[in-house]
Structure 1
Amino acid sequence: MDGSELTEERKVTKLKRKFRQMTGPLGVFFEGFVKNPVMVGSIIPSSRYTIRRMLEPVDWANCKLFVEYGPGVGTFCQTVLDHLPRDGEYIVIDTNPLFIDYLNRTIHDSRFHAVLGSAEHVEQIVRRHGHEKADYVLSGLPFSTLPEGVAPAIAAATYRVVRKGGAFLTYQFSTVARDFTALHFSRVDTGFEWINIPPCVLAWGWKDTD
């Protein structure tokens, strides 16, 4: 790389930094979407109505480990941390280094762990953090556009990692995530949130206690 190319790269990096500073988390989210729209799935983070409805069924008093796939810029993060017990832990998993870097820079809570990786490997990630099972797993991943074989692998791994009585919580703009959940979880509750851009299908797959 010659001097002119290096100067140009520095200018681009500086412009990106200024854009993020001006737009805050929305800018980071938009940049992440532009870089990998297949994995992000939406150009706008979830609404507060979606957040509230998705987390309503969670038994926070008995939640020791909460896991989230595709946290983006942390739309759900503060709400989860506000409800999570002091001795609980929260693991978020994302394949986008831009989002993981942003979360590590902006969330300072000893219970919070941002992991760069794939949700397919949730079992290994959970064990690496000293747990065998998760109480709840939340996913906003776009199951309908994931590479072939990835969605079923994530659904199967999630079923294995969720404890009995726990749940897999999904929100997506189609029924695909709910349908994959139903392949493993015997009880799936479904909802729909209109006040979101775009409106989305909500699903809670519960693992039998037997």
Structure 2
Amino acid sequence: MRESITFLREFAKNPTKVGAIAPSSPGLVRVMTHGFDWQKARGVVEFGPGTGVFTEAIVKKLHPDAKFVAIERSHDMAELTRRRCPSATVIEDSVTNLDAICDAAGIGQVDAVLCGLPWASFPDSLQREIMSVTLNRMAPNAKFATFAYWQGVILPAGRRFSKRLRENFSDVRRSETVWRNLPPAFVYRCTK
């Protein structure tokens, strides 16, 4: 209950930074963390962990030799993630500082990126900046997953983001729709 209240409060304060009214469902967590080679991924990052529902699943799947960091701008959300996943490294910062964050965490190239950022609410310049720093840090054939709400796909920023994925990744696929999420969502699975 506390997570839902914090989530709603953060959404009310910053709707363009939170982008959702409720934490992701277990179904979306399963779809989001599917498709990664968890036995081989050694550098793993999560963008926008929110309440830590993806973080919790990631920590359970990580190889013992993997290095992982979750990057969250909101202090309150970062605290929720830390409480849910005390073994995870949660950094309060912007993902635009990915290089410095990875350097400090001892992560060279990134093999897996799991992203909970509200892309459809970002201006073009921020989409471009985040995508650029992400791609520059990713290893060849690295995997990137992010989810989208169906209503966001029709927004200009959502359409622009979908096009940006197709322009920057060698393979872009959409998962099935997770109808039991609020609101319904799907996952973009991309390969560099």
Alignment TM-score, normalising by the size of structure 1: 0.81
Q: Secondary structure of 1:203's partner?
A: strand
What is the RMSD computed on CA atoms of the aligned residues? 1.6
Identity value in percent: 26
- Quote the offset at 1:113 in angstroms: 1.0
> Which aligned segments of 4 or more residues in structure 1 are displaced greater than 6 angstroms?
none
Letter in 1 for 2:44: F
Q: Does 1:46 align with 2:24?
A: yes
C-alpha offsets along residues 94-149 of structure 1, whole Å, 9 cap, x if unaligned? Answer: 1111111232344221xx21111111121221112112211111112111212451
C-alpha offsets along residues 156-203 of structure 1, whole Å, 9 cap, x if unaligned? Answer: 211111111211111011343433222211211112422211112311
- Quote the offset at 1:65 in angstroms: 2.0
Alignment TM-score, normalising by the size of structure 2: 0.88
Q: Does 1:119 align with 2:95?
A: yes
- Runs of 5+ consecutive residues of structure 2 not aligned to the other structure: none
C-alpha offsets along residues 53-74 of structure 1, whole Å, 9 cap, x if unaligned? Answer: 1211010100112211111010
- Quote the offset at 1:150 in angstroms: 0.6
Q: Secondary structure of 1:160's partner?
A: helix
Q: CA–CA distance in 2 between the matches of 1:123 and 1:189?
A: 27
Aligned counterpart, 2:46: 68
Q: How many residues align?
A: 183
Q: Does 1:170 align with 2:146?
A: yes
Q: Secondary structure of 1:159's partner?
A: helix
Q: Does 1:187 align with 2:171?
A: yes
- Quote the offset at 1:78 in angstroms: 1.2
Aligned counterpart, 2:60: 82
C-alpha offsets along residues 5-47 of structure 1, whole Å, 9 cap, x if unaligned? Answer: xxxxxxxxxxxxxxxxxx3222222222122111000011111
Q: Secondary structure of 2:2's partner?
A: helix
- Runs of 5+ consecutive residues of structure 1 not aligned to the other structure: 1-22
Q: CA–CA distance in 2 between the matches of 1:51 and 1:160?
A: 26
Q: How does 1:8-157 map to 2 (within 5 A)?
A: 23-109=1-87, 112-157=88-133
Alignment match of 1:197 (pick from 173, 182, 185)? 182
Q: CA–CA distance in 2 between the matches of 1:106 and 1:199?
A: 24
Higher RCO (Cα < 8 Å, 6 or more apart): 2
Q: Which moved more, 1:112-121 or 1:99-108?
A: 99-108
